[in-house]
Amino acid sequence: MIKILFLQYLYNLSDPSLEDTLIDRLSFQRFVGFSFTEEVPDFTMIWRFRDWLVKAGIIDRLFVELNKMLERHGKELKRGETTIADATLIDAARRAPKDGDRGCQKDYD
């Protein structure tokens, strides 16, 4: 569950978005340690776990310790322009070149 919260922090995901992403992304499942057949925690479970850590005063210490561990290894935890993109490939129709448009073709004349 702590790894799930780290992913949420890094990718700036809401609880429902995090649940959907955990279901959708094999890389997230592998990082967290879920097998392909395991059920992903729903967003209310994620929220309750984070709320428990906040009330216990633990969550800030977890991120401080994580940053210390990374620094010892010369790494840095950054948030920002990280984007998850759908890389679905689709067939595209070829277009005929326009007059004077040679594209990438070399001029052999």
Domain layout of the chain by residue ranges: 2-72
Confidence of residue 106 (pLDDT cuts 50, 70, 90): low
Residue 13 CB-density burial (10 A; 0-12 exposed, 13-18 middle, 19+ buried): buried
Do 10 and 70 form a contact (C-beta atoms < 8 A)? no
Q: Is residue 104 very low, low, confident or very high in pLDDT (cuts 50, 70, 90)?
A: low
For the chain, percent of residues with pLDDT exceeding 90: 42
Q: Please report the pLDDT score of residue 25 as a whole number.
A: 92
Task: Record the pTM.
Answer: 0.64
pLDDT for position 86: 52
In this predicted model, what pLDDT tens digit does every residue of 30-45 receive, in sequence order?
999 998 788 899 999 9
The reported pLDDT for the residue numbered 58 is 92
pLDDT at 36: 79
Mean of per-residue pLDDT scores for the chain? 81
Q: Are 19 and 8 in contact (CB under 8 A)?
A: no
Residue 60, Cβ neighbours under 10 Å: how many?
10
